């Protein structure tokens, strides 16, 4: 965890989360990063370098996994403070974009893998196909993009996987996003929020740390959705 000085101090994981099964005493079992979490199984969020982060996860599942680890999902404001250099720059590494610094801007996999669908994809069969996360050169291991690091030594907050935060999409947030120069989203109050984009996005929903998606309910999941955890600062 990294301690961050903000309006309310908090800690944030350095790395996008992976999952391990919570069960009887014994060797923990890491969950396959390209598989949906199993129903009825408890999972704990892990933060580690050099591993593929967990995709195909909903906000509900991400929140539960953070709680099992004694943490919680980051709020939107906490997430942005941890991402934005100096708390104000657009990117983790500074004010101006650096091409290829973060894992983003790659071709979309769905039309490549399922050309016969003609851009008509099914949620479970295509958006949650485990093979998507196994395609070489797309999802990266945590920390692989060394320049995609904030001043707080937090990694991969832009690109790689979308990251769920704890906020619901409010009417005010939706109005704010619609007033900016972003690609339109089919948003509704009560939807979940995820941040940062993934490996096939650029600045459709905002550049760098401002990338914000409010188009999906908290139970939504697909090959692009991941998370990291935050926690209050523990008094010393």
Per-residue pLDDT reduced to its tens digit, 26-56: 778 999 999 999 999 999 999 999 999 999 9
Q: Scan for tokens 């600062």, then name that residue.
A: 233
**Residue 2's pLDDT band (boundaries 50, 70, 90)?**
low
**Candidates 3.90.1580.10, 3.60.21.10, 3.40.50.300, 3.30.70.890; CATH matching 2-105+137-232:** 3.90.1580.10
Is the distance from CB of 178 to CB of 215 less than 8 angstroms?
no
The answer for residues whose C-beta is within 8 angstroms of residue 72's C-beta and 6 or more apart is 63, 66, 166, 229, 230, 231
Using CA atoms, how far apart are residues 83 and 81, in angstroms rounded to an integer?
Answer: 5
Q: Tell me how many helices (H) and strands (E) the chain has.
A: 4, 11
The closest of 93, 121, 74 to 208, measured between CA atoms, is: 93
pLDDT of residue 6: 46
Q: Is the pLDDT of residue 5 over 70?
A: no
What does the domain layout of the chain look like in residue ranges? 2-105+137-232
């Amino acid at each position: 965890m990294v301690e961050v000085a903000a309006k309310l101090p908090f800690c944030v994981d350095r790395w996008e989360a992976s999952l391990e099964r919570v069960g009887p005493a014994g060797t923990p079992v890491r969950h396959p990063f390209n598989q949906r979490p199993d129903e009825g199984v408890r999972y704990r969020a892990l933060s580690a370098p050099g591993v593929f982060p967990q995709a195909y996860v909903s906000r509900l599942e991400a929140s539960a996994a953070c709680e099992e680890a004694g943490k919680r999902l980051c709020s939107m404001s906490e997430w942005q403070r941890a991402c934005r250099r100096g708390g104000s720059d657009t990117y983790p590494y500074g004010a101006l974009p650096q091409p290829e610094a973060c894992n983003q801007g790659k071709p979309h996999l769905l039309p490549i893998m399922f050309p016969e669908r003609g851009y008509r994809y099914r949620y479970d069969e295509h958006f949650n196909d485990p093979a998507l996360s196994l395609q070489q050169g797309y999802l990266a291991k945590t920390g692989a993009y060394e320049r995609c690091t904030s001043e707080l030594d937090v990694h991969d907050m832009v690109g790689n996987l979308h990251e769920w935060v704890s906020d619901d999409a409010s009417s005010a947030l939706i109005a704010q996003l619609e007033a900016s120069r972003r690609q339109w989203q089919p948003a509704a109050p009560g939807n979940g929020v995820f941040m940062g984009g993934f490996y096939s996005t650029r600045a459709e929903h905002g550049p760098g740390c401002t990338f914000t998606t409010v188009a999906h309910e908290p139970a939504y999941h697909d090959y692009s959705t991941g998370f990291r955890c935050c926690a209050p600062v523990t008094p010393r």
